[in-house]
Amino acid sequence: MSAPGDNVTLLLAQLREGNREAASQLIPLIYNEMRRMAGAYMQRERPGHTLQATALVHEAYMRLAGGQPGPWQNRAHFFAVAAHVMRQVLVDHARRRHSGKRGGGNAQKVDIDAEVLIGAENTEDVIALDEALDRLAKLDPRQSRLVELRFFAGLDVEQLAEVMDVSPTTIKREWRSAKAWLHGELTLLKSR
Protein backbone atom coordinates (compact mmCIF):
# COMPACT_ATOMS: atom_id res chain seq x y z
CA MET A 1 0.00 0.00 0.00
CA SER A 2 1.30 3.39 -0.87
CA ALA A 3 1.79 6.14 1.66
CA PRO A 4 -1.02 8.70 1.80
CA GLY A 5 1.37 11.39 0.57
CA ASP A 6 1.94 9.52 -2.67
CA ASN A 7 -1.73 9.35 -3.19
CA VAL A 8 -2.06 13.11 -2.87
CA THR A 9 0.79 13.65 -5.26
CA LEU A 10 -0.92 11.39 -7.72
CA LEU A 11 -4.22 13.14 -7.36
CA LEU A 12 -2.52 16.49 -7.75
CA ALA A 13 -0.85 15.37 -10.93
CA GLN A 14 -4.18 14.17 -12.27
CA LEU A 15 -5.78 17.42 -11.35
CA ARG A 16 -3.12 19.29 -13.30
CA GLU A 17 -3.91 17.08 -16.23
CA GLY A 18 -7.51 18.12 -16.03
CA ASN A 19 -9.01 15.18 -14.22
CA ARG A 20 -11.92 16.69 -12.34
CA GLU A 21 -12.44 13.54 -10.32
CA ALA A 22 -9.15 14.24 -8.63
CA ALA A 23 -10.46 17.55 -7.36
CA SER A 24 -13.42 16.01 -5.70
CA GLN A 25 -11.15 13.54 -3.95
CA LEU A 26 -8.71 16.23 -2.87
CA ILE A 27 -11.30 18.61 -1.56
CA PRO A 28 -12.27 16.54 1.46
CA LEU A 29 -8.60 16.10 2.32
CA ILE A 30 -7.95 19.80 2.30
CA TYR A 31 -11.24 20.54 3.88
CA ASN A 32 -10.81 18.08 6.70
CA GLU A 33 -7.44 19.51 7.46
CA MET A 34 -8.97 22.89 7.85
CA ARG A 35 -12.00 21.71 9.68
CA ARG A 36 -10.08 19.76 12.21
CA MET A 37 -8.30 22.95 13.04
CA ALA A 38 -10.55 23.86 15.94
CA GLY A 39 -13.53 24.14 13.67
CA ALA A 40 -12.05 27.44 12.70
CA TYR A 41 -13.97 27.54 9.46
CA MET A 42 -16.93 28.93 11.31
CA GLN A 43 -15.36 32.17 12.20
CA ARG A 44 -15.95 34.10 9.04
CA GLU A 45 -17.74 37.36 8.90
CA ARG A 46 -17.64 40.15 6.38
CA PRO A 47 -15.15 42.84 7.41
CA GLY A 48 -12.37 40.69 8.83
CA HIS A 49 -13.19 38.01 6.34
CA THR A 50 -10.09 37.78 4.22
CA LEU A 51 -7.66 37.90 7.05
CA GLN A 52 -9.36 35.10 8.81
CA ALA A 53 -9.71 33.06 5.68
CA THR A 54 -5.98 33.28 5.11
CA ALA A 55 -5.31 32.47 8.70
CA LEU A 56 -7.38 29.37 8.24
CA VAL A 57 -5.07 27.77 5.74
CA HIS A 58 -2.13 28.53 7.92
CA GLU A 59 -3.71 27.16 11.00
CA ALA A 60 -4.52 24.06 9.06
CA TYR A 61 -0.92 23.69 8.10
CA MET A 62 0.42 24.52 11.53
CA ARG A 63 -1.64 21.73 12.88
CA LEU A 64 -0.34 19.21 10.44
CA ALA A 65 3.20 20.47 10.93
CA GLY A 66 2.66 20.02 14.64
CA GLY A 67 3.00 16.30 14.31
CA GLN A 68 -0.40 15.17 13.17
CA PRO A 69 0.19 12.64 10.49
CA GLY A 70 -1.27 13.71 7.19
CA PRO A 71 -0.86 12.85 3.56
CA TRP A 72 1.39 15.84 3.04
CA GLN A 73 5.04 15.52 2.27
CA ASN A 74 5.83 18.96 3.58
CA ARG A 75 4.55 22.46 3.97
CA ALA A 76 5.14 23.43 0.35
CA HIS A 77 3.30 20.35 -0.77
CA PHE A 78 0.27 21.17 1.29
CA PHE A 79 0.06 24.70 -0.01
CA ALA A 80 0.56 23.61 -3.57
CA VAL A 81 -2.32 21.20 -3.26
CA ALA A 82 -4.50 23.69 -1.42
CA ALA A 83 -3.90 26.42 -3.96
CA HIS A 84 -4.49 24.16 -6.88
CA VAL A 85 -7.66 22.71 -5.45
CA MET A 86 -8.97 26.11 -4.60
CA ARG A 87 -8.24 27.29 -8.08
CA GLN A 88 -10.10 24.33 -9.49
CA VAL A 89 -13.05 24.89 -7.21
CA LEU A 90 -13.26 28.56 -8.13
CA VAL A 91 -12.93 27.99 -11.83
CA ASP A 92 -15.49 25.21 -11.87
CA HIS A 93 -17.85 27.37 -9.92
CA ALA A 94 -17.30 30.28 -12.27
CA ARG A 95 -17.75 28.13 -15.36
CA ARG A 96 -20.96 26.70 -14.01
CA ARG A 97 -22.30 30.11 -13.32
CA HIS A 98 -21.02 31.48 -16.55
CA SER A 99 -22.87 28.88 -18.54
CA GLY A 100 -25.96 29.60 -16.48
CA LYS A 101 -26.21 26.06 -15.18
CA ARG A 102 -26.67 25.27 -11.61
CA GLY A 103 -26.32 22.11 -9.61
CA GLY A 104 -29.49 20.13 -9.12
CA GLY A 105 -31.45 19.34 -6.01
CA ASN A 106 -30.52 21.07 -2.84
CA ALA A 107 -27.72 23.01 -4.33
CA GLN A 108 -30.11 25.26 -6.14
CA LYS A 109 -31.60 26.52 -2.96
CA VAL A 110 -28.35 27.30 -1.28
CA ASP A 111 -28.30 30.93 -0.47
CA ILE A 112 -28.98 32.22 -3.94
CA ASP A 113 -28.57 35.80 -2.87
CA ALA A 114 -25.07 35.29 -1.61
CA GLU A 115 -24.10 33.22 -4.61
CA VAL A 116 -25.30 35.76 -7.08
CA LEU A 117 -23.69 38.58 -5.20
CA ILE A 118 -20.31 37.04 -4.98
CA GLY A 119 -20.32 35.41 -8.38
CA ALA A 120 -21.57 38.29 -10.44
CA GLU A 121 -18.48 40.28 -9.77
CA ASN A 122 -15.65 38.18 -10.93
CA THR A 123 -16.94 35.15 -12.72
CA GLU A 124 -15.29 36.13 -15.94
CA ASP A 125 -12.21 37.39 -14.15
CA VAL A 126 -11.67 34.00 -12.60
CA ILE A 127 -12.01 32.17 -15.89
CA ALA A 128 -9.76 34.64 -17.66
CA LEU A 129 -7.20 34.43 -14.89
CA ASP A 130 -7.26 30.65 -15.05
CA GLU A 131 -6.63 30.64 -18.78
CA ALA A 132 -3.92 33.25 -18.53
CA LEU A 133 -2.25 31.24 -15.78
CA ASP A 134 -2.20 28.18 -18.01
CA ARG A 135 -0.37 30.20 -20.63
CA LEU A 136 2.02 31.59 -18.05
CA ALA A 137 2.77 28.04 -16.92
CA LYS A 138 4.12 27.35 -20.40
CA LEU A 139 6.36 30.42 -20.29
CA ASP A 140 7.49 30.14 -16.71
CA PRO A 141 6.18 27.33 -14.52
CA ARG A 142 7.67 28.80 -11.40
CA GLN A 143 5.95 32.14 -11.85
CA SER A 144 2.71 30.40 -12.58
CA ARG A 145 3.04 28.46 -9.32
CA LEU A 146 3.84 31.65 -7.48
CA VAL A 147 0.75 33.35 -8.78
CA GLU A 148 -1.38 30.36 -7.95
CA LEU A 149 -0.16 30.35 -4.37
CA ARG A 150 -0.62 34.06 -4.09
CA PHE A 151 -4.08 34.21 -5.56
CA PHE A 152 -5.64 31.00 -4.44
CA ALA A 153 -3.90 30.15 -1.20
CA GLY A 154 -3.58 33.78 -0.20
CA LEU A 155 0.09 33.61 0.75
CA ASP A 156 1.95 36.87 1.25
CA VAL A 157 5.49 37.65 0.15
CA GLU A 158 7.18 36.29 3.27
CA GLN A 159 5.17 33.12 3.19
CA LEU A 160 5.76 32.65 -0.51
CA ALA A 161 9.48 33.01 0.03
CA GLU A 162 9.40 30.38 2.70
CA VAL A 163 7.26 27.92 0.80
CA MET A 164 9.08 28.35 -2.50
CA ASP A 165 12.42 28.48 -0.79
CA VAL A 166 13.75 31.66 -2.37
CA SER A 167 14.38 35.14 -1.01
CA PRO A 168 11.54 37.63 -0.54
CA THR A 169 13.30 39.91 -3.03
CA THR A 170 13.08 37.25 -5.68
CA ILE A 171 9.41 36.72 -4.91
CA LYS A 172 8.71 40.44 -5.19
CA ARG A 173 10.52 40.66 -8.49
CA GLU A 174 8.85 37.63 -10.00
CA TRP A 175 5.46 38.69 -8.69
CA ARG A 176 5.74 42.11 -10.26
CA SER A 177 6.55 40.92 -13.75
CA ALA A 178 4.03 38.09 -13.54
CA LYS A 179 1.36 40.52 -12.47
CA ALA A 180 2.18 42.92 -15.29
CA TRP A 181 2.12 40.06 -17.76
CA LEU A 182 -1.24 38.81 -16.51
CA HIS A 183 -2.55 42.32 -16.53
CA GLY A 184 -1.66 42.62 -20.18
CA GLU A 185 -3.20 39.26 -21.02
CA LEU A 186 -6.44 40.02 -19.22
CA THR A 187 -6.75 43.44 -20.75
CA LEU A 188 -6.27 41.90 -24.16
CA LEU A 189 -8.85 39.26 -23.40
CA LYS A 190 -11.37 41.78 -22.21
CA SER A 191 -10.93 44.10 -25.12
CA ARG A 192 -11.87 41.29 -27.47
Partner 1 sequence: MNAERWQQVKAIFDHAVECDPASRGELVRELCGDDESLLEQVESLLASDQTAHSPLPSPADLHSEAIRLLEAHACGGNASDGETGIFIGPYRLVRQIGEGGMGVVYHAQQVQPIQRDVALKIIKPGMDSQQVIARFESERQALAIMDHPNIARVFDAGSTSAGRPYFVMELVDGVPISRYCDSKQLTVKERVELFIQVGEAIQHAHQKGIIHRDIKPSNLLVAEQEGRATPKVIDFGLAKALGPQLSDATLMANFGAVMGTLCYMSPEQADSVHDIDTRSDVYSLGVVLYELLTGKPPMENESLTPGNYVEALRRIREEDPPSPSLRVRQSSTAQESARQESARAAGRSVKRKRNLGEVAAAGESVVREFLQSDRARLVKELRGELDWITMKALEKDRERRYQTAIGLARDLKRYLEGDPVEAGPVSVAYRLRKFVGKHRPWLAAAAAFTVLLVAGAVISSWMALRASRAEQEAHAVNAFLQNDLLAQASANNQAHPDTKPDPHLEVRTALDRAAARIEGKFRAQPLVEASIRQTIGETYKDIGLYAEAQRHLLRALDLRRRALGEQNADTLRSMERLAELYSLQGKYTQAEPLNVQLVEIERRVLGEQNPDTLEAMHNLAILYGRQNEFTEAEELFKKVVDGERRLLGEEDSRTMAARQDLATLYQRQGDYAKAEPLYSKALEVSQRVLGEEHPDTLVTMSGVAVVYQMQGKYAQAEPLESKVLETQRRVLGEEHLFTLNTMNHLASLFLEEGKQDQAEVLYRRTLSIQRRVLGEEHPETLLTMVGLGNVYRVEGDYARAESLYTKALEIQSRTLGEEYRDTRRTMSNLAELYRLQGKYGASEALYLKVLEMQRRLVGQDQPDTLATMNRLAALYLDQRRYAQAEALSRVAYASYEKTRVGIWERFNSQSLLGESLAGQTKYADAEPLLLAGYDGMKQREATIPAAYRPLLDDARKSIVQLYKGWGKPYEAGEWQRQGRRP
Minimum CB distance to partner 1, residue 44 (Å): 6
40-69 per-residue burial string, b: 16 or more CB within 10 A, e: under 16: bbeeeeeeeeeeeeebbbbbbbebbeeeee
Q: Which amino acid is at 179?
A: K
Q: Where are the alpha helices (DSSP H) in the chain?
A: 4-16, 20-36, 49-65, 75-98, 112-139, 141-152, 157-164, 168-191
Burial class (CB in 10 A: 0-12, 13-18, 19+), 94: buried
Using the minimum distance from each CB to partner 1, give the nearer residue, 13 or 116. Answer: 116
Using the minimum distance from each CB to partner 1, give the nearer residue, 9 or 33. Answer: 33
Using the minimum distance from each CB to partner 1, give the nearer residue, 27 or 65. Answer: 27
Using the minimum distance from each CB to partner 1, give the nearer residue, 3 or 176. Answer: 176
Minimum CB distance to partner 1, residue 17 (Å): 20
Minimum CB distance to partner 1, residue 102 (Å): 11
Q: Which amino acid is at 150?
A: R
Footprint of partner 1 (CB under 8 A): 24, 27-28, 30-31, 34-35, 38-50, 53-54, 56-57, 85-87, 89-90, 93, 105-107, 109-113, 116-118, 120-122, 125-126, 128-129, 138-140, 150-154, 173, 176-177, 179-184, 186-187, 190
